[in-house]
Amino acid sequence: MSPQPTTAPLVVVSGPSGVGKSTVVGRALALEPRIWLSVSATTREPRVGEQDGREYYFVSDERFDELVATGGLLEWASYAGNRYGTPRGPVDEHREAGTPVLLEIEVQGARQIRRSVPGALLVFLEPPTWDVLESRLTGRGTEEPDVVSRRLQAARDELAAAPEFDAVLVNADVQECAEALLALVSDPPGH
């Protein structure tokens, strides 16, 4: 039996674009504000209403390259033509201080966490049906049709990754899904 980690849990929430990751995580944080949500860095442009440092740290390609080269990212991935990554320092600091940390990241990044952070809990969110997911992606109205098309193709590929995760939650009801996520944070399977 391996020794128990001395740091707080790291829980990765992943799933296809449009599945409601942000909504479920937001509800979970409203129910349990002691959990810290990591803010990712991205090379994509902000959407209307997004603020630097709140939804993402919006960085240039050059700055992102620097973070990759210096080991400043815990994980990073390319997705739909942009790059996303998790700054390492704040995650480590919060966990060492005893604060559970949530990462809301794409499947590529979750796979990196699986390899690089022993004991991290990977949670996959699924839509109740493909039609629901497709409707969410096309109904956003925030992206060009070619971007939506890329996201739909990526979603098909990502749904096939669900068996790689420690737990799978179906986001049919946001409140129930958030409560199930919090139960996993409090009592991770296998711990």
pLDDT bin (cut points 50, 70, 90) of residue 191 is low
Over range 13-21, report the average pLDDT.
91
* Residue range 75-123, pLDDT digits in tens: 998 877 899 999 998 999 999 999 999 999 888 889 999 988 888 999 9
Domains of the chain, by residue range, sit at: 10-186
* Residue range 45-79, pLDDT digits in tens: 999 999 999 889 999 999 999 999 999 999 998 87
To the nearest 10 degrees (0 to 180), the angle between helices 145-159 and 130-139 is: 150
Q: Which CATH class is domain 10-186?
A: alpha beta
Q: Give the predicted TM-score (pTM) of the model.
A: 0.83
Over range 149-171, report the average pLDDT.
91
CA torsion angle 105 95 180 20 (round to 10): -20
